[in-house]
Amino acid sequence: MSKRVLRGVVVSDACEKTVIVRVERRVMHPIYKKFVTHSKKYAAHDENNSYRSGDVVRIEESRPISKRKCWVVIGGPANVGPGRRSARSIPEPVSAEADMTELGAPDIGIETAEATEGAA
């Protein structure tokens, strides 16, 4: 029996080694004959924490990994690397002395009386 493969958008990457993927499908309404979009969210296993919110990924059915997780991410965007998510969440510390040295006298553009007399 083949495993199902679905395509969706990552809506959450807050958990460790897990992403929440929203899969949308369009079905025709039985009475009104218009297409309606149905969506469902799946918890999928992401071993390297590689995928961020907004990435389009493919997920495949697998054995149960946890209570809610029985899908595995098998593909996504081309620029994904291992540990990509951990690098963006840590800001670099800035020392207080560096901030104070960059500040100089404010240049507000007011000319003094001596500068206007010399120009005239």
Residues 45 and 94: their CA atoms lie apart, in Å, by 35
pLDDT tens for 72-91 read 999 887 666 666 654 445 55
Q: Which of 35, 38, 39, 49 is nearest to 9 (CA)?
A: 39
Has this prediction a pTM greater than 0.85?
no
Give 18-45 pLDDT, tens digit per residue.
999 999 999 999 999 999 999 999 999 9
Say if residue 63's pLDDT is above 80: yes
Give the per-residue pLDDT at 87. Answer: 47
